[in-house]
Amino acid sequence: MLINSYAKINLYLEVLNKRKDGYHDIETLFSTINLHDSLKFVLTKKPQIQILSNIPELASPNNLIYKIANRIFDDYKVKNGIRVYLNKRIPVAAGLGGGSSNAAVTFIALNALLKLKMEDEYIQRVAAEYGSDLNFFFQGGLACGSSRGEMITPLPDEKSMKLLLVNPGLAISSKEAYQLVDFEQADCKGPKMWHNSLETGIKKKYTVISDILQSMKDLGASEALMSGSGSTCIGYFKKNTQLKSSVEYFNSKLMWNKVVKTIGRSQYQKCFQNLS
């Protein structure tokens, strides 16, 4: 079974408070984009879980694909094994949800391949144990996330937006990003587009993020913000000429960049229909 695993961006993210369990309550606005990894799942008779990837360090038991597969195999007493081929295109630890997306696709693929008929309650509950944004990838499209981000409220599809992603090659963990939040400066005014309260602390520590966002604006972006916990930055350009100039600029800086489009829920969920 071959499935695409799509990235997400956060068009809005407000950190509300730190919880007793060590996590943070947030409000966020997720959107899927057409940047994706590809995963091929092959059932094996030998009862082991194996990951092969174009990025060798991802072929590890630390990968969420492995952890989710192992959990499902234990819970459902599966006697088969699985070999997963991961073609990684989404930057790692970049605020684009690549690992969580891969994990969600693992649920979907194993449920279909092994004919497990998983209950939605089981999927949502177990998924939330492995990542705060993982549950979003069962919905896709445009959606609000609350609590830790795992409580998902789907929103109606909107017109697709063309965006520029720029990643400076920094791997920023969610833990670090949240530790840098200045709650005294946090100002929750209700959800609105193009806001990320994780940005301030990250920009102070990693000035390259501030430089990228400022360069986007200088090049004509009407909006620019960091996605999730970073380090990927998003630019929205109303004119294609400005977008093209921005691509050329970041190419000259040898920074990874990609022009992407947001995709709606109906288009996203077509990818998982008729799996067998």
The DSSP call for residue 58 is: G
For 6, the token pair is 């799509």
From the list 235, 194, 195, the residue with the least C-alpha distance to 212 is: 235
State how far the Cα of 115 lies from the Cα of 1, in Å rounded to an integer. Answer: 13
Q: Is the peptide bond before 231 cis (omega within 30 degrees of 0)?
A: yes
Backbone angles phi, psi at 148, to 5 degrees: -80, -5
Q: Which of 8, 37, 203, 258 is catalytic?
A: 8
Say if residues 215 and 249 touch (Cβ distance below 8 Å): yes
Q: Which of 115, 117, 133, 218 is catalytic?
A: 133
State how far the Cα of 101 lies from the Cα of 5, in Å rounded to an integer. Answer: 6
For 266, the token pair is 């109906």
State how far the Cα of 224 lies from the Cα of 91, in Å rounded to an integer. Answer: 19
Q: Has 37 been annotated as catalytic?
A: no
Q: Has 74 been annotated as catalytic?
A: no
The DSSP call for residue 91 is: P
Say if residues 164 and 246 touch (Cβ distance below 8 Å): yes
Tell me how far CA of residue 100 lies from CA of 10, 188, 214, in angstroms. 14, 26, 29
Q: What sections of the chain are H helices per DSSP?
A: 64-75, 98-113, 120-130, 174-179, 199-205, 207-218, 240-252, 265-270
- Residues designated as active site: 8, 133
